[in-house]
Amino acid sequence: MDEEYDVIVLGTGLKECILSGLLSVDGLKVLHMDRNDYYGGESTSLNLVQLWKHFRGDEKPPEKLGASREYNVDMMPKFMMANGSLVRILIHTDVTKYLNFKAVDGSYVYNKKKVHKVPATDVEAFKSPLMGLFEKRRARKFFIYVQDYDDNDPKSHEGLDLNKVTARELISKYGLEDDTIDFIGHALALHSNDSYLDQPALGFIKRMKLYAESLARFQGGSPYIYPLYGLGELPQAFARLSAVYGGTYMLHKPECKVEFDADGKATGVTSEGETAKCKKVVCDPSYLPDKVKKVGKVARAICIMSHPIPDTNDSHSAQVILPQKQLGRKSDMYLFCCSYAHNVAPKGKYIAFVSAEAETDNPEVELKPGVDLLGPVEEIFYDTYDRYVPTNDHAADSCFISASYDPTTHFETTVNDVIEMYTKITGKVLDLSVDLSAANAASEE
């Protein structure tokens, strides 16, 4: 192990694996270590026996749930936007050849105590029971503005500079009602709270366009895709990629202590008495706890069911977003459902997650509005984990620390963190202009 590397990556969570893959493809010499004897860190994937051990200690799972090995329960379940940044990274690094994707059946939003399909185009808006007739007309005009908006075509801007006009000002021009703004902002543009309303509207419009373009990609009921066998496949795919480019992976390395010189710069990592030298360290918050601070807590419920989420058109896989206002909260709640259709459970079984930024110390009460939408559940596990962000100055200590995973059930925020970290580590902007059709064939059955 006594070699010198450009970068040592600690932890095999999704963010760390994506970065390790990107850096390897860039020609850097990467050593990737994990104190655990399995891939994935916080974002690992568990079979039934491991799930029980994690939450129930020595109890054994009931036999009626089926074979343990047929379960792949992702601890950080997140769907991928078909045209989103993560899919672009997968194509950019050619990891798509190790993975098979399948479209996600449905994308829904909770509005006025009911679950509705998210309308993403002017045509869908017109059919949606979310709005009355006059509101549909207003929403249709707004959707057409968004669909036609093109950065490079000033005519399509209708005299508005979206770098200056806020999302709130743009929306008020179309006179949309609060409930409409709610589902557009949270279920289409995927903002997790309402702070976006007072930011420049361009980001909001781009997020809406990404949703609509992703939806059009597979002609399915949602803009999302998900790997067969779940996200546990991703870290392993990136590990294979890294190996192709000469990177080294080592699991089950205890301690993994980062070494610093007199100036406080990272110089290497020691494990089992051996030190590997490096210029930079990339890791999750658990490896450098004195360089991060707690910023929140995520509450979640993990459920095993024998039916799809009610009112989702019998979707085998679906996301339901519960905007903050609909629940009187400060941030959104998310439902995620996947099943045997994506090979994450035995035939007839469904895995559902309810997740939210914890605003109280009682996850069972706090998550009840989401859990109630699931119908009968066979097993339910409640869990909370702390959310950390880095506080260090990476220019001074050469340590690049990822933020903890948030409660969202899609990848957009996670990938933004990865892209920002990539730029900090390399000083380059990640070029994601790729041929998206490269991920096409794999996504269709």
CA–CA separation, 187 and 174 (whole Å): 19
Percent pLDDT > 70 in the chain is 98
Could you give the angle at which helices 412-426 and 85-92 cross, rounded to 10 degrees? 50
Q: Which segment of 170-179, 326-335, 371-380, 436-445 scores lowest on mean pLDDT?
A: 436-445
CA–CA separation, 357 and 324 (whole Å): 11
CA–CA separation, 353 and 376 (whole Å): 14
With 0-12 / 13-18 / 19 or more C-beta atoms within 10 angstroms meaning exposed / middle / buried, residue 356 is buried
Q: Is the pLDDT of residue 235 over 90?
A: no
Q: pTM of the prediction?
A: 0.91
Each residue's pLDDT tens digit, 328-341: 999 999 999 999 99
Query: Residue 30 — pLDDT band, cuts 50, 70, 90?
Result: very high
| Distance between first and last Cα of the chain | 44
| Three-class secondary structure of residue 270 per DSSP | strand
Q: What is the mean pLDDT of the chain?
A: 92
Query: Where does residue 328 fall: left (phi above 0), alpha (psi -120 to 50 degrees), or beta otherwise?
Result: left
Q: What is the pLDDT of residue 292?
A: 98
Q: What is the pLDDT of residue 439?
A: 65
Please list, in sequence order, all residues whose beta carbon lies within 8 angstroms of the beta carbon of residue 247, skipping any fewer than 6 positions away.
20, 24, 29, 30, 31, 32
Q: What is the pLDDT of residue 2?
A: 65
What domains are defined for the chain?
4-44+231-292+389-428 (3.50.50.60), 56-105+294-387 (3.30.519.10), 117-217 (1.10.405.10)
Spatial contact of 285 and 10, defined as CB atoms under 8 Å apart: no
Each residue's pLDDT tens digit, 121-162: 888 888 889 999 999 999 999 999 999 999 999 999 999 999
Query: Residue 440 — pLDDT band, cuts 50, 70, 90?
Result: low
Q: Is the pLDDT of residue 15 over 90?
A: yes
Spatial contact of 404 and 387, defined as CB atoms under 8 Å apart: yes
